[in-house]
């Protein structure tokens, strides 16, 4: 046991030594009788007395060189909160990019300060807090094992920005009640202060000498010491919520229904220890404050993934992440109540969630060649649990999920371990093995009923390597035909897969920041060895100033099988993309095009066509955000036909406009549209010539401090089918308010 522990410590030390040590910083305790007023001025005596962090390094476009602009940070704490003061010096404040931005939309096009705070000290997860000079914020959790930065959780914190002659400031207050630290607290936390400085280049600056390319990020955090005698008393928050709404659902010529209701809800958050959080919700209401981004659905082979946005499911969301998407809380369609316990310590973090799902959605029924669905015409109990242990640079975890249907209609259960190991900053190894047991199986009509238990397995091993010259990723997967995860996201089973990405990077070549030729290869078979998918795609990617990336890819002889026994379809394609943050008023532009052979999934054939997708983020005024996204896809028959040769054409688009009255008040308007057009004579099954859906949503939101949130909104939708004459109109008008009370 001792040898294993010392081996882990040794590997961790080796990793840090190879990447460069980050300098430690000490937090200053606020003397009795002194206070800090959040005004962005940093003029209290405590800020002068706190140790100064002023060694910052550039990460991009060059790495491990002294930052070209000065940044200073200081850390102060009292009995209830951690305070961080940051001064960002700027030689030309006229170039500052400081638009108003809605929460979690403080992105790479803006000047910003980001704090990564790991209150456990293991450097495996961190809370992150973003702010731009205008005071707009973003926050969430960073998971080192997966490299994911999850913006979904909203953490209670405050920050105020200010100006001084030659720069801008950010003054943070992060309540200890918002952080998850050990009991007793670790004597050493870890932090990273990151600065985004977009000018002719997107300069990335950090308080640690990070390599430009690495497989870990917060593993190189600065140690934060001096945080002694932190609060450990119970903390209980109660948040009542009330939603009043009127809904109308009209199908022309069939029915017209109007309903009015007031829905009270209650959220409870109890912190019995600094490292443990208990969450409970009763009758939660998830009115459409947020809308899912529309996706093309008319030519899909497998289920489409949508991210979780509901607040109750976001505490400890990073712990649920593993190599497979085995835990996917969007599988819970309509929770009537739920409870959750989350714990974090220096050696362990874990979470357990139980909720009653009233149903109404769909259950994924994966197979080798596509995703089938069953109606969730039942109520069920959904349970999730995952634990993760840290030893040096490795994490060992185990997860378990259960979905038990009411009325004795069966269950689905999943159990299995996983491992992530970082032997140094360049390498990452992961593995996961899962077993499933299922008795809730579809009958002849597709309805889930209890039948004889089926068992299945899923396994994955992957390795990622990254340094200044090479990027390499290899993954091996083996998923059985009877594997199912009703609490996860598995759109396919019954396959074996090997996938690799290889890239050779040339820095500062031919006037580019980086030139990278690459090869992406994949070989996937069914359980009998038949080819299900194969690709060998060769590409070139170059990066330029203004965060601009150009890429082109040749996709010859891709092989695709879409039906069992239906043969293999060969596809030749070309693909290209451009991404840039060109100007303050056009903060991000991205477009990609794929043209050549297109697989017609529904009819199991290949046609000619293209996919074109574009996203543009525009800021014509400092208070106005505009985001436009459009996806177009079409397939034409390569055989001579009478009439239209266009097998399918589809479009999905969204226009979002957000007007900021202040950093806490704004109006968001969304227009979404999906339409599909088909030459029905070219389809094997009867289909409609034209289908269309339109949605408009308008929401006013106000957030007063940490504890009061209000929304007023309306959503209007229309669905039409030209052939059948079907027309459906839906509308919702709602008001929603929540108040958070500290009970003790």
Q: What is the pLDDT of residues 689-698, one digit of tens each?
A: 999 999 999 9
221-225, 270-274, 432-436, 513-517: range with highest mean pLDDT: 432-436
Q: How far apart are CA 413 and CA 487, in angstroms?
A: 9
* Per-residue exposure over 261-296, b if at least 16 CB sit within 10 Å of its own CB, e if not: eeeebebbbbbebbbebbbbbbebebbbbebebbeb
The single residue listed with the structure tokens 């490299």 is 147
Dig out the tokens for 284 from the structure.
Answer: 């939660």
Strand 71-77 and strand 28-29: the pairing is parallel
Rounded mean pLDDT of 14-32?
68
What is the pLDDT at residue 706?
58
Question: What local confidence, expressed as pLDDT, does residue 144 receive?
Answer: 79
Q: Cα–Cα distance between 733 and 339 in angstroms, integer?
A: 29
Which residues is 715 bridged to in the sheet?
697, 732
Of 135-149, 554-568, 575-589, 718-732, the poorest mean pLDDT is in: 135-149
Q: DSSP for 310-378?
A: -GGGGTTGGGG--SS----GGG--SEEEEEEEEEE-SSEEEEEEEEEE---SEEEEEBSS-EEEEE--S
Dihedral of alpha carbons 443, 445, 446, 447, sign? negative
Which backbone phi and psi does 47 adopt, to 5 degrees?
-70, -35
**Taking the alpha carbons of 655, 661, 665, 667 in that order, is the dihedral positive or negative?**
negative
Cβ distance 391 to 360 under 8 Å? no
Instruction: Tell me the C-alpha to C-alpha distance, in Å, between residue 43 and each of 27, 135, 473, 600.
Output: 17, 19, 49, 65
Q: Identify whether the C-beta of residue 572 lies closer than 8 Å to the C-beta of residue 553.
A: no
Domains of the chain: 17-225 (2.60.40.1190), 235-742 (2.40.170)
Rounded CA separation 341/338 (Å)? 11
Give the tens place of pLDDT for each residue, 537-595.
999 999 998 889 999 999 999 999 999 999 999 999 999 999 998 888 888 899 999 99
Mean pLDDT value across residues 421-435: 92
Mean pLDDT computed over every residue of the chain: 90
Alpha-carbon distances of 239 from 43, 265, 281, 741, rounded to whole Å: 35, 8, 9, 6
Could you tell me the two tokens for 135?
Answer: 């005071």
Burial of 422 (0-12, 13-18, 19+ CB in 10 A): buried
In angstroms, the CA 302 to CA 273 distance is 43
Compute the radius of gyration of the chain from its Cα atoms. 27
- Phi, psi dihedral angles at 278 (to 5 degrees): -115, 120
Quick one: pLDDT band at residue 255, thresholds 50, 70, 90? very high
pLDDT at 392: 73
Beta carbons within 10 angstroms of residue 74's beta carbon: 23
Q: How far is CA 449 from the centre of its chain?
A: 34
Higher pLDDT, 183 or 441: 441
pTM: 0.83
Place of tokens 């996938």: 499
- Run of H or E residues at 14: helix 2-19
Pairwise CA distance, residues 407 & 312, whole Å: 27
Model confidence at 146: pLDDT above 90:
no
Which residues are CB-contacts of 376 (< 8 A; sequence separation ≥ 6)?
333, 357, 359, 360, 361, 362, 363
DSSP string, 57-103: EEEESS-SEE-SS-EEEEEEE-SSEEEEEEEEE-S-GGG-------T
Q: Which whole number is the average pLDDT over 226-253?
A: 88
pLDDT number for residue 16: 39
Among candidate residues 561, 513, 570, the one with its CA nearest the CA of residue 541: 513
Q: How far apart are CA 438 and CA 39, in angstroms?
A: 57
pLDDT per residue as tens digits for the range 640-686: 888 899 999 999 999 999 999 987 789 999 999 999 999 999 999 99
Q: Write the pLDDT tens digit of every residue in 447-494.
A: 999 999 999 999 999 999 998 899 999 999 999 999 999 999 999 999
- Inform me whether the pLDDT recorded for 2 exceeds 50: no
Rounded mean pLDDT, 85-103: 91
Q: Give the integer Cα–Cα distance in Å for 268 and 363.
A: 29
pLDDT value for 22: 62
- The predicted pLDDT at position 705 comes to 61
Structure tokens at 639: 């055989």
- Note whether 433 and 439 are within 8 A (CB): no
Q: Count the Cβ atoms, other than its own, within 10 Å of residue 297.
A: 12
């Amino acid at each position: 046991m001792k040898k294993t522990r010392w081996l882990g410590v040794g590997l961790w030390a080796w990793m840090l030594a190879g990447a460069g040590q980050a300098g430690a910083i000490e937090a200053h305790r606020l003397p009795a009788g002194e206070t800090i007023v959040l005004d962005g001025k940093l003029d209290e005596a405590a800020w002068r007395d706190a140790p100064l962090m002023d060694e910052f390094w550039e990460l991009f476009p060059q790495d491990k060189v002294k930052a070209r602009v000065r940044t200073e940070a200081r850390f102060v704490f009292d009995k209830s909160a951690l305070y961080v003061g940051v001064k960002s010096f700027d030689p030309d404040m006229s170039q500052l990019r400081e638009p108003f931005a809605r929460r979690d939309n403080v992105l790479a096009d803006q000047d910003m300060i980001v704090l990564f705070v790991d209150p456990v000290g293991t450097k495996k997860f961190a809370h992150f807090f973003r702010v731009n000079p205008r005071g707009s914020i973003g926050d969430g959790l960073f998971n080192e094992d997966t490299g994911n930065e999850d913006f979904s959780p909203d953490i209670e914190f405050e920050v105020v920005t200010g100006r001084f002659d030659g720069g801008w400031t950010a003054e943070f207050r992060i309540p200890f009640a918002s952080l998850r630290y050990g009991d007793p607290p670790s004597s050493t936390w870890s932090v990273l202060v990151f600065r985004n400085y977009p000018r002719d280049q997107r300069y990335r600056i950090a308080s640690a000498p990070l390599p430009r390319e690495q497989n870990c990020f917060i593993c190189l955090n600065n140690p934060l010491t001096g945080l002694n005698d932190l609060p450990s008393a119970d903390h209980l928050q109660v948040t009542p919520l009330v939603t009043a709404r009127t809904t109308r659902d009209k199908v022309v010529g069939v029915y017209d229904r109007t309903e009015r209701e007031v829905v009270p809800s209650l959220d409870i958050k109890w912190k019995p220890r600094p490292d443990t959080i208990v969450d409970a919700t009763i009758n939660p209401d998830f009115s459409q404050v947020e809308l899912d981004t529309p996706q093309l659905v008319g030519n899909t082979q497998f289920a489409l993934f949508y991210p979780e946005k509901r607040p109750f499911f976001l505490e400890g969301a990073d712990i649920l992440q593993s190599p497979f998407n085995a835990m996917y809380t969007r599988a819970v369609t309509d929770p009537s109540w739920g409870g959750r316990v989350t714990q974090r310590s220096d050696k362990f973090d874990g979470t357990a969630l139980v909720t009653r799902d009233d149903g109404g959605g769909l259950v994924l029924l994966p197979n080798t060649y596509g995703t089938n669905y069953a109606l969730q015409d039942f109520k069920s109990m959904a349970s999730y649990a995952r634990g993760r242990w840290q030893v040096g640079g490795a994490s060992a975890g185990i997860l378990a999920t259960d979905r038990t249907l009411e009325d004795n209609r069966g269950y689905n259960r999943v159990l299995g371990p996983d491992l992530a190991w970082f032997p140094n900053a360049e390498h990452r190894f992961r593995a996961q093995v899962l077993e499933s047991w299922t008795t809730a199986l579809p009958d002849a009509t597709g309805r889930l009923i209890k039948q004889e238990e089926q068992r299945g397995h899923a396994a994955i091993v992957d390795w990622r390597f990254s340094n200044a010259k090479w990027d390499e990723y290899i993954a091996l997967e083996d998923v059985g035909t009877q594997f199912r995860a009703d609490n996860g996201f598995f759109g396919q089973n019954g396959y074996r897969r090997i996938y690799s990405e290889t890239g050779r990077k040339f820095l500062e070549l031919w006037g580019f920041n980086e030139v990278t030729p690459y090869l992406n290869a994949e070989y996937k078979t069914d359980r009998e060895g038949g080819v299900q998918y194969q690709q060998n795609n060769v590409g070139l990617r170059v990066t330029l100033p203004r965060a601009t990336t150009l890429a082109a890819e040749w996709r010859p002889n891709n092989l695709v099988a879409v039906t069992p026994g239906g043969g293999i379809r060969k596809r030749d394609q070309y693909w290209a993309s451009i991404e840039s943050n060109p100007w303050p008023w056009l903060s991000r532009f991205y477009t990609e095009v794929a043209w050549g052979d297109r697989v017609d999934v529904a009819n199991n054939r290949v046609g000619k066509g293209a996919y074109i997708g574009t996203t543009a983020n525009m800021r014509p005024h400092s208070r106005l955000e505009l985001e436009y996204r459009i996806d177009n896809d079409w397939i034409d028959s390569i055989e001579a036909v009478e009439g239209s040769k266009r097998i399918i054409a589809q479009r999905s688009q969204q226009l979002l406009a957000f007007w900021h009255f202040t950093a806490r008040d704004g109006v968001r308007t969304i227009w979404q549209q999906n339409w599909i057009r088909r030459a029905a004579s070219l389809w094997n099954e009867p289909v409609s010539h034209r289908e269309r859906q339109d949605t408009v949503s308008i929401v006013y939101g106000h957030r007063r401090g940490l504890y009061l949130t209000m929304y007023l909104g309306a959503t209007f939708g229309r669905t039409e089918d030209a052939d059948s004459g079907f027309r459906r109109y839906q509308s919702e008008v709602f008001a929603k308010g929540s108040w958070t009370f500290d009970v003790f």
